[in-house]
Structure 1
Amino acid sequence: MNFRGFATLTIWADDVAAAAAWYEQVVGVAPYFETPGPDGRPAYREFRIGDLQAELGIIDRRYAFPGVPSTAGGALMHWHVDDLEGTLARLLELGATALQPITPRDDGFATAAVIDPFGNLLAIMHNPHYVEMAGK
């Protein structure tokens, strides 16, 4: 096996267009890719975000795998942010629901988490290792 990094983080939404519009406000870029469903509504939209151009995909919940819960849960991926307090405040202002307040961790790490308006976990952190790796 040769794991080289995550390729695409995907989340579910009942309304892909609304979720993509919300995430566009959060990440500050428009989706670069879209696939329509058979009814013409967006079935998938994808963003490239940040220093590594990480991919975030939003999939219409109609295409969820059998047994996928409709409540927030599962793996938690933290996005590095430089301003943890400001980013958390902005997410809440945009309609996210607080899940975990800013929580200091060891060695300069701190995390926080919300549930987006579409029922997905969204975690953020200030990560000194990321800053070192990114050279900023």
Structure 2
Amino acid sequence: MTFRGMATVSYFASDWAAARTWYTRVLGADPYFLRDGYAEWRLGDRQAELGLIDARFRAPGTPAGPVGAVLYWHVDDVGAEVARLLELGATEHEPPQDRGHGFVTATVLDPFGNLLGIMYNPHYLEML
């Protein structure tokens, strides 16, 4: 198999400094890698990477706003996490949805226009 796992999910922000501060607060940790216009955090059980990129580095022709694929981060309580993200300045995109068989998903927009997915996934816990 050629796909071995998610390496990095990237979010863009026009106000990169404000976005870095927001994600540091959301994630409860400073980035482990930082340079002008780019920050990375390692998250969760498998240390997946979240990269935050200054929008000036966005490839030409890339649309801004909530487009494309949604990456869902596993959380233990979707409703509580949505409430916390809304308190921190995110806006609701899709409220928590029971997808059956123990799966619950929701999406919010971060204050910088990125789609942030969260999910409770029983299969994720089985893999641990």
- Normalising by structure 1, we get a TM-score of 0.90
Match of residue 81 from structure 1? 75
Match of residue 119 from structure 1? 113
Q: Distance in 2 between matches of 1:70 and 1:115?
A: 12
Structure 1 position 81, deviation (Å) = 0.1
Q: Distance in 1 between matches of 2:12 and 2:65?
A: 10
What letter is aligned with 1:131?
L
- Structure ID, larger Rg: 1
Q: Distance in 2 between matches of 1:20 and 1:132?
A: 32
Partner of residue 106 from structure 1, selected from 100, 113, 119: 100
Q: Distance in 1 between matches of 2:18 and 2:48?
A: 21
Q: Which runs of 4+ in 1 moved over 2 A?
A: none
Aligned length: 128
User: Is 1:16–1:45's contact at 8 Å kept on the other side of the alignment?
Assistant: no
SS in 2 for 1:76: coil
Q: Distance in 2 between matches of 1:25 and 1:127?
A: 24
Q: Do structure 1's residue 97 and structure 2's residue 91 form an aligned pair?
A: yes
Q: Distance in 2 between matches of 1:78 and 1:114?
A: 11
Identity within the alignment, %: 56
Structure 1 position 64, deviation (Å) = 0.4
Structure 1 position 9, deviation (Å) = 0.4
SS in 1 for 2:31: coil
Q: Distance in 2 between matches of 1:85 and 1:118?
A: 22
Q: Distance in 2 between matches of 1:94 and 1:78?
A: 18
SS in 1 for 2:30: coil
- Normalising by structure 2, we get a TM-score of 0.96
Match of residue 18 from structure 1? 18
Q: Distance in 2 between matches of 1:15 and 1:45?
A: 13
Structure 2 alignment gaps of length 5 or more = none
SS in 2 for 1:105: strand
Q: Distance in 1 between matches of 2:65 and 2:24?
A: 22
User: Is 1:33–1:47's contact at 8 Å kept on the other side of the alignment?
Assistant: yes
Q: Distance in 2 between matches of 1:49 and 1:21?
A: 16
Q: Distance in 1 between matches of 2:25 and 2:88?
A: 8
Superposed CA RMSD: 1.0
